[in-house]
């Protein structure tokens, strides 16, 4: 008798960063027995950096899942954390999921849904400290697990997060076989992938780029945190 499939749902929203979910999707779709769905609040197509993703499910139409994953992007704070229905459906799926996960600023969305209070979580380095507004504990690690909450850091950490999850679900050999299959052997041309190792002038340049929207993003997080507290989450 065949085992039940592992249902994996990526909860998408306008303004999502595509690599936040296409990276882990590539890995998790190769997990034996997995069924991977892209879903949004409305089920309508989502545009991400010029790529349009269609054929999405409505979150409300998904009865349950084993893994729910929320990617990040500027839409996390521009749209998702202020969307009451999106957060409600996320909480519903998370309540019955074996793993509740995120990549990059998707952890801010988990926080806004009231799922990270007292939990350690990863996030993109530029916005990591915003997690404290939701009662979460920022962790600079690339992949962070706290109970059934598994979070990945910025963007490309989604691949690492997904391989770690596959190893837990199906064993290290399966994870390594998937890693080999996608030839994931990072050898970046520059040593500038984190604020700790980037040249100071590059860090300053990147920080300045994010500064323009920092106040707006912080205000959105504070407003979402206030709503979460008022709702008793």
Among 79, 145, 112, smallest CA distance to 224 is for 112
106 membership: H or E segment, kind and range:
helix 106-112
Of the candidates 65, 69, 104, 123, the residue annotated as catalytic is: 104
> Rounded CA gap, 219 and 233, in Å?
19
13 membership: H or E segment, kind and range:
none
Q: Helix and strand tally (H, E) in the chain?
A: 7, 11
Q: Is 123 a residue of the active site?
A: no
Q: CB–CB of 15/79 below 8 Å?
A: yes
> Rounded CA gap, 191 and 88, in Å?
40
Residue numbers annotated as active site: 104
């Amino acid at each position: 008798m065949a085992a039940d499939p592992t249902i994996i749902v990526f909860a998408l929203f306008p303004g999502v960063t595509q690599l936040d979910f296409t990276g882990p999707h590539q890995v998790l779709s190769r997990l034996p027995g997995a069924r991977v769905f892209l879903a949004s609040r409305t089920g309508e197509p989502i545009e991400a950096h010029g790529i349009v993703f269609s054929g999405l499910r409505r979150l409300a139409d998904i009865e349950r899942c084993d893994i729910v994953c929320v990617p990040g992007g500027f839409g996390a704070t521009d749209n998702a954390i202020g969307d009451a229905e999106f957060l409600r459906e996320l909480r519903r799926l998370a309540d019955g999921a074996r793993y509740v996960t995120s990549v990059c600023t998707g952890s801010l969305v988990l926080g806004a849904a009231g799922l990270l209070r007292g939990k350690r979580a990863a996030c993109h380095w530029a916005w990591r400290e915003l997690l404290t507004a939701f009662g979460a504990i920022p962790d600079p690690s690339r992949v962070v697990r706290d109970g059934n909450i598994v979070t990945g850091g910025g963007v490309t950490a989604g691949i690492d997060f997904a391989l770690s999850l596959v190893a837990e679900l199906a064993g290290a050999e399966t994870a390594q076989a998937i890693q080999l299959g996608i030839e994931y052997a990072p050898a970046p041309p520059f040593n500038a992938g984190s604020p700790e190792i980037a040249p100071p002038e590059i860090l300053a340049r990147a920080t300045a780029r994010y500064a323009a929207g920092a106040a707006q993003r912080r205000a959105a997080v504070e407003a979402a945190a206030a709503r979460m507290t008022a709702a008793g989450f």
